[in-house]
Amino acid sequence: MTTLAAMPKNWGLGELAASLVELILPRPCAGCGEETEAGGVLCVSCQEHLRHVPCRVERPLPLGFPAWALGPYSDTRRSVIIAMKERGHQAVRKHVGAVLAAGIEYLRARGDIPETAVMVPAPTRMSSARERGGDPVTAMCEAAEERLPGWSTVVALATAESSADQSDLTAGERADNMRAAVLLRPCAQQLRGRAVLLVDDVVTTGATLRASAARVRAVGGDVIGAIVLADA
């Protein structure tokens, strides 16, 4: 739920008015489209649907590091991801960040990951991030970071603007495409000698995660694993 204190100071009158309306009027659930409580993001049913413990992700071609998904690529998760990415739904990004933080806490309690690490969001085109009002996966990480003392987010990766759209490629083509498409940002040097947890919204073939891990390792980062919202 949006609060006045949480509203960015650089918002214009239009953005402020829209957020005030959200505080007063109910809006459709980002997961199923049903009505939520005033200021709500997800209905009770969809909130419950997102409460999965992390499950290991396995692929025919091994990733080379442990990976976990916070659930299957269900209709609810698909709708939430579309709301985050294609509809500029800022509030749902924070809610999913809380879900991500809970998953990380679970893995930390089990001893599957260290007490602290750096979250590195999956790469995206800078143009796509601008069109979406910021990168949704980065927003997830930053929201999770607020709930995880000692954790931080480093936006170390980007996708080349000229790279092909992954959705149109076969598994083999995706791997070839991502090997060349994933780029390091200057801040990637901050990862040297640090434990890194890769974060993405969906895993399909695993090509993006593999390419991301290779880039992080190239600058001396220690990839301890990856966590995604949905396993497709």
Give the global pTM: 0.84
Average pLDDT, the chain: 88
- The pLDDT of residue 19: 53
Q: Output the CATH code of domain 50-231.
A: 3.40.50
**Annotated domain spans of the chain:** 11-48, 50-231
**Least confident stretch, 5-19, 113-127, 146-160:** 5-19
Q: Quick: pLDDT tens for 68-122.
A: 999 999 999 999 999 998 887 888 999 999 999 999 999 999 999 999 999 999 9
Beta strands in the chain (DSSP E): 55-56, 67-69, 118-121, 152-153, 157-159, 182-184, 195-203, 222-231
| CA 169 – CA 159 distance, rounded (Å) | 16
